[in-house]
Homo-oligomer: A and B are copies of this chain.
Amino acid sequence: MDRTDSYHHGALRSALIKTGLELISEKDISGFTLREVAKRTGVSTAAPYHHFKDKAELLQAMSIEGWRMLGERFEAVSDVAETPSARLRGIGEAYIRFAMEHTEYFRVMSRPDLYYSGVYDENREATGLKVFEMLRSTVAGLFPGKKNDDPEIQEMVLHAWVLVHGFSTLWIDGSIKGTSLGELGIEELISMLFRSDPCLTQT
């Protein structure tokens, strides 16, 4: 390799994040190796340590990118939805499909113990919280006149979140496949899931 190529001045940090996301898309999290991220980026084994405290901190940075992407999807869906209830249903489905398409991002994003290394990156907290707030304001849209922290809204936020997150994790972990529900197709399951929720089926 060209010698000067290994000097990514200022750009190594983001290059590592990018390579890391590529790598995690191919293999699962257990095969995610800091050494291989470095090798693929064309840099020595120890190089990442000048940009990240440890492996967990790189994963944390990667999860920020995941949250940003999910936020974008939420926005895209919100823009085209015509009713508050269609909007809620839309971002719910977006959540599930994101988990299915980017399973390994999703794993890292929702498992702080994978990337926690003593200190939380405030950017990560902010990016994750932003997505949560998008959900909350979408739910609030169903209750015009009520404040954001109204108990009824809080309850519905919890319910919606739990529903899509629970389904996503069960699905990507393959837990559903082994049961009698596994005979159903994914589309059927999703519509079944939303049908079971009165809040999401109301017009």
Contacts and interface: CB of A to CB of B under 8 A. Distances in A.
Interface residues of A, number: 43
Contacts of A193: 158-159, 162
Contacts of A30: 113-114
A128 B178 contact: yes
A125 interface: yes
A184 B155 CA distance: 11
B28 A179 contact: no
Contact of A167 (B156, B166, B178, B198): B166
Contacts of A161: 166, 170
A161 B164 CA distance: 12
A155 B191 CA distance: 10
Given A192-B154, A196-B155, A166 B173 contact: no
Nearest to A156: B196
